[in-house]
């Protein structure tokens, strides 16, 4: 009888452990995209001024340039939209008024962002907070390191010494030039301001334990410089406010000195132009996070690898643009700081067809 109860107890513990593991895996899968579907709490920890907007109703979303598919597009329809995106990119790159925001040299910083799949002749430029973890998994499989994306350990994806996914910067100059001229090249974008919100939430609100420098080094440095009233002995505990973050990002002169101190951690909020140099590198495809469910399979087809791997399942609603959330986060930010922020990211809005956020600027 005693053995019977011990067996039942052991089974109970196993079930509890399995439930915990399944919830953790589910959370990580969602977190890889930077957001939780429907996650709109009234006030976000560490974010002063982020609160519900009185009198708002469930949002009826206005059409955006990236929402051009009312149904699943055919290959021809998607190719037409893809061609228009590349044409727009090329046109804006020639716009002299935006030259200082869009023209970026192909530096080591840019080459560090581009991952190489030699086996299938693909280059992928990493733009954080738009589902890049999943694209890295796809390329790891295509490079032959693992048979499927499901079998890749989460802690290996970003371990660039072990995942079999080299950076373009690791190659000799002539090898770099050859790949840039001949390989299939792509990257993914999303609404620039929503991406900044995602970066802020992930790095300064949730603050993963394996990235303590965001809370203990970067946040206090921003608070010291951009918050008018602060206590030096309580910087880490007080938490970074979204207004502080926006003020830092919009400071054209002072930010450059601060960014040198932060190093490569700034990749989560620097512009797409700074990350991927799209006016210098002729990309084959630019995907949009807002239509990723439809873009992903077509990108794989355009790269000629649709039969070799599938993009991981995308949590329902995770890619949808959420204007209400953007308004809520910016509700405590001054118009002056919004204008300064937009001045910095105006090139990204123009290059990829995102409308200017007039609802925040006016």
pLDDT tens for each residue of 69-127? 446 788 899 999 999 999 999 999 998 888 889 989 999 999 999 999 999 999 999 99
Q: Cα–Cα distance between 154 and 322 in angstroms, integer?
A: 28
- DSSP H/E element including 45: none
Top pLDDT among 92 and 36 is at 92
pLDDT tens for each residue of 51-62? 444 444 434 343
Q: Which of 165, 48, 58 is nearest to 114 (CA)?
A: 165
Q: Is the pLDDT of residue 145 over 50?
A: yes
Please count the other Cβ atoms lying within 10 Å of the Cβ belonging to residue 281.
18
- Side-by-side strand order, sheet with 122-125: 114-117, 122-125, 184-189, 285-288
End-to-end CA distance of the chain: 75
Tokens read off for 122? 């693909």
Per-residue pLDDT, 38: 41
CB-based burial of residue 119 (10 Å sphere; 0-12 exposed, 13-18 middle, 19+ buried)? Answer: middle
Per-residue pLDDT, 50: 53
Q: Is the pLDDT of residue 129 over 50?
A: yes
Residue 215 binned pLDDT confidence (cut-offs 50, 70, 90): confident
pLDDT tens for each residue of 309-357? 999 989 888 899 999 999 999 999 999 999 999 999 999 999 999 999 9
Q: How far is CA 19 from CA 10, 15, 115, in A?
A: 14, 6, 35
Per-residue pLDDT, 13: 53
Q: Cα–Cα distance between 330 and 328 in angstroms, integer?
A: 6
In this prediction the pTM is 0.82
Q: Is the pLDDT of residue 203 over 50?
A: yes
Helix axes 323-330, 192-200, angle to 10 degrees: 60
Q: Is the pLDDT of residue 64 over 80?
A: no
Per-residue pLDDT, 209: 67
């Amino acid at each position: 009888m005693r053995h019977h109860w011990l067996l039942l107890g052991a089974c109970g513990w196993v079930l509890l452990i399995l439930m915990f593991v399944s919830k953790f895996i589910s959370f990580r899968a969602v977190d890889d995209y930077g957001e939780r579907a429907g996650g709109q709490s009234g006030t976000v920890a560490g974010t002063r001024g982020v609160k519900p907007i009185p009198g708002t109703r469930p949002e009826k979303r206005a059409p955006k340039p990236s929402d051009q598919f009312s149904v699943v597009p055919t290959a021809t329809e998607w190719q037409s939209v893809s061609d228009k995106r590349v044409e727009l990119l090329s046109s804006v790159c020639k716009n002299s008024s935006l030259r200082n925001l869009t023209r970026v040299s192909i530096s080591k910083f840019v080459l560090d962002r581009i991952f190489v799949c030699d086996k299938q002749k693909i280059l992928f430029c990493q733009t954080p907070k738009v589902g890049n973890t999943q694209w890295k998994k796809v390329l790891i499989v295509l490079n032959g390191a693992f048979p499927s994306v499901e079998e890749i350990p989460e802690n290996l994806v970003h371990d660039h010494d072990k995942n079999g996914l080299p950076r373009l910067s690791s190659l000799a100059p002539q090898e770099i030039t050859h790949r840039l001229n001949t390989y299939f090249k792509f990257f993914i974008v999303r609404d620039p301001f929503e991406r900044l919100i995602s970066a802020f939430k992930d790095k300064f609100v949730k603050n993963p334990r394996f990235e303590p420098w965001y809370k203990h080094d970067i946040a206090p440095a921003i608070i010291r410089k951009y918050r008018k009233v602060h206590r030096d002995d309580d910087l880490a505990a007080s938490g970074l406010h979204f207004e502080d973050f926006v003020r830092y990002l919009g400071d054209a002169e002072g930010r450059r000195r601060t960014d040198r101190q932060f190093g490569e951690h700034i990749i989560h909020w620097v512009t797409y132009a700074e990350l991927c140099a799209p006016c210098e590198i002729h990309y084959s495809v630019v995907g949009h996070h807002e239509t990723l469910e439809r873009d992903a399979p077509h990108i794989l087809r355009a790269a000629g690898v649709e039969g070799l791997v599938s993009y991981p399942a995308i949590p329902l609603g995770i890619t949808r643009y959420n204007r209400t959330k953007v308004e809520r986060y910016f509700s405590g930010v001054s118009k002056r700081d919004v204008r300064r922020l937009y001045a910095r990211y105006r090139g990204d809005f123009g290059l990829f067809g995102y409308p200017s956020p007039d609802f925040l600027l006016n």
